[in-house]
Amino acid sequence: MTRAYSYIRFSTPDQASGDSLRRQTDKAVKYAKAHGLTLDDQSYADLGVSAFRGANAEDGRLGDFLEAVRTGLIEPGSMLLLENLDRLSRDKPRRAVRVLEQIIDAGVTVVTLTDGKKFTAASIDEGLGLMEVIFTLTRSHEESKRKSELVGDAWDKKRDRAATEKTPITSRCPEWLRVVNGQYQVIPERGAIIRRIFEDSAAGLGLGLIVRSLNKDAGPSFRGKMWQRSYVLKVLHNEAVLGVYRPHTKRGVAARQPTGEVIEDYYPAVIPGDLWEEAHRALSSRKVGASGRKGTHLTNLFTGRVECGICGRSMEIRNKGTGPKGGVYLVCSSFIRGGGCDHGTHHRLDKFESDFFAMVREVDFSALNKHAVEGLRQVRAEIAELRQRIARERERKNRLLEEFADSDDFDALAMIKKINATMKEAEAALRALSDREAGLANKEAASTANAINTLGEQMETLTGDDLFRLRVKLAAVIRSAIAGIEFTPDYAQIALETKTHTVGYRIYKDRTERVEAPHPDHFPVR
């Protein structure tokens, strides 16, 4: 008995709740019964998959069927039952014909259930068989093309209205927002979680720890499941948190591509621009030399800042266990590996950590202007906003240059000239703000010292994940303030860095001294 396979397809997920699936299934069952065929349990269905550009043949279940035909799992003499040829493909006619040929050339007969026609290699080669197939597939493709253009034009109009009126073009929106009376609104508890994610990232917490923390006390994710690293990373890279909408399209391409101009203030912003910048700076810094979570305690608060004062190589952690001479030590990596450095002193890490906090408490920051810290934060927020604005204008200019490269369109040229003027004005403002930032940054040291002291005191009362979380934050603050730490056999020299100068402190076994600014070549450049 001949074995038959059914192939069912419809374009949109909404059709699953309609009659399309039942209708196509019933037709296949009835045809197989009427013609004495064995309908294989292994049916092939692409539900909610368009055939306009051949996605079903490349990535869908039709692609699986074609592979089974090619490898012989589906034997010659079998039949493929489908409602119409357009279920097979609505791609460009020459590509659609190739899909059909792959099947019939392997000896499999294609049956269209609406009219009962059979397509085989022999029937296609006879008379007007091929012309009939090409006409049918061309008509299907043109119909889909027309629908695609109509839908695309409608979306273009919606995007234009969104840019001018800032009205929602669809009820779909970021998962921390909702549409109320035709306007986007922040869902308060979700907005708080978004801010928490960015604040934790800016504080130095990695994705793993952020996810662990959210699963512990933030409840299910916005999708009703556990929080995952991939989702948190998507949130951290989603400009919608700043209120920005970046239109995309799939028209004429396989994957979504940016289209049109970025629309600012389309969504309500849930975080300020400076927090976005801080979170992304922290993300970038963690990519360099990152190796995942370092145990449950975060042993070294000074990772990336400590080096040997004799040879300039990094200092490494050495754990000697819990005996009388045990403990965790910092040792020159060149000495450990026989690289020629004779600095073999083992510097006890907990002792240095204690001395470091004592040194920070003794530094006199009282002469610095405490009000400058908030001013600096505001300036940095303005700088972040200007940089984003310049980047968007540059992207807009590049799109225009690409689109009108071989054109004499005077409107486009005028627009490019206007963009150049806007960028020049923004870059001048950016230079002025950068100068102002440098003047204020020196006074930020008071805030940094207070943060180090406060976090250091809190460590004494915490354990487990809470302690690890706090030590990660503390390490991030230390990295922002410390240009470098040099260990010699007799002392540890610390460079506290500001935007305008570096202050040096030398910690001996029995005292701490302020010294002239250390040589900058000895320290890592941030």
Alpha-carbon Rg of the chain, whole angstroms?
A: 33
Q: What is the maximum span of the chain, computed from C-alpha positions, in angstroms?
A: 103
Mean pLDDT calculated for residue range 4-30? 73
Q: How far from 363 is each of 269, 397, 445, 446, 516, CA to CA, in Å?
A: 39, 50, 10, 9, 15
Output 468 or 266, whichever has higher pLDDT: 266
User: Which of 17-26, 145-154, 368-377, 505-514 is most confident?
Assistant: 505-514
Q: Per residue in 491-519, pLDDT tens?
A: 988 876 544 456 678 888 888 887 765 55
Binned at pLDDT 50, 70 and 90, residue 254 comes out as very low
Architecture of the CATH domain 167-287: Alpha-Beta Complex (3.90)
Strands 306-308 and 482-487: parallel
Binned at pLDDT 50, 70 and 90, residue 395 comes out as confident
Looking at residue 494, what is its pLDDT? 84
Looking at residue 376, what is its pLDDT? 62
Give residues with Cβ within 8 angstroms of 382, minimum separation 6.
Answer: 433
Looking at residue 232, what is its pLDDT? 93
The three-state (H, E, C) secondary structure of 253-317, written as one string:
CCCCEECCCCECCCCCCCCCHHHHHHHHHHHHHHHCCCCCCCCCCCCCCCCCCEEECCCCCEEEE
Strands (E), 48-182: 79-82, 109-112, 117-119, 177-180
Domain ranges of the chain: 3-145, 167-287, 306-368+446-522, 372-442
With 80 as the cut, is the pLDDT of residue 53 above it? no
With 70 as the cut, is the pLDDT of residue 363 above it? no
Q: Which pair of structure tokens corresponds to residue 269?
A: 């912003």
Mean pLDDT calculated for residue range 296-313? 78
User: Which of 167-181, 340-354, 432-446 is most confident?
Assistant: 340-354
Q: Look-up: residue for tokens 């604005």?
A: 389
The mean pLDDT of the chain is 77
180-184, 251-255, 271-275, 405-409: least confident range? 251-255
With 90 as the cut, is the pLDDT of residue 162 above it? no
Binned at pLDDT 50, 70 and 90, residue 369 comes out as very low
> CA 283 to CA 480: how far, in whole Å?
14
Helix axis angle for 349-362 and 445-459, nearest 10°, is 130
Output 490 or 419, whichever has higher pLDDT: 490
Mean pLDDT calculated for residue range 170-188? 88
50-59, 336-345, 428-437: least confident range? 50-59
With 60 as the cut, is the pLDDT of residue 128 above it? yes
With 90 as the cut, is the pLDDT of residue 77 above it? yes
Looking at residue 472, what is its pLDDT? 77
Q: Model pTM?
A: 0.45
Mean pLDDT calculated for residue range 186-190? 94
With 70 as the cut, is the pLDDT of residue 287 above it? no
Looking at residue 378, what is its pLDDT? 74
Instruction: Write the CATH number of the domain with boundaries 3-145.
Output: 3.40.50.1390
Looking at residue 61, what is its pLDDT? 79
Looking at residue 194, what is its pLDDT? 95
